[in-house]
Amino acid sequence: MTRDGLNTLKEIERKVCDLREKVGNMKTRIYDFYTMEEDVLDLDAHGHLSDVDEVMGIAEMNLFYVVRTLQKAYKAERELMDTYGLLNDESDE
Residue 73 located in a structural domain:
yes
- The pLDDT tens digits of the residues spanning 21-80 come to 999 999 999 999 888 877 778 889 989 999 999 999 999 999 999 999 999 999 999 998
Residue 77 phi, psi (nearest 5) = -65, -40
The total of structural domains in the chain comes to: 1
Q: How far apart are CA 61 and CA 10, in angstroms?
A: 20
pLDDT given for residue 90 in this prediction: 53
Parent domain of 60: 3-83
Exposed / middle / buried, residue 51 (Cβ in 10 Å: 0-12, 13-18, 19+): exposed
8 neighbors 74 (Cβ within 8 angstroms): no
Residue 90 located in a structural domain:
no
Which distant-in-sequence residues (6+ apart) come within 8 Å of 1 by Cβ?
9, 77, 80, 81
- The pLDDT tens digits of the residues spanning 12-30 come to 999 999 999 999 999 999 9
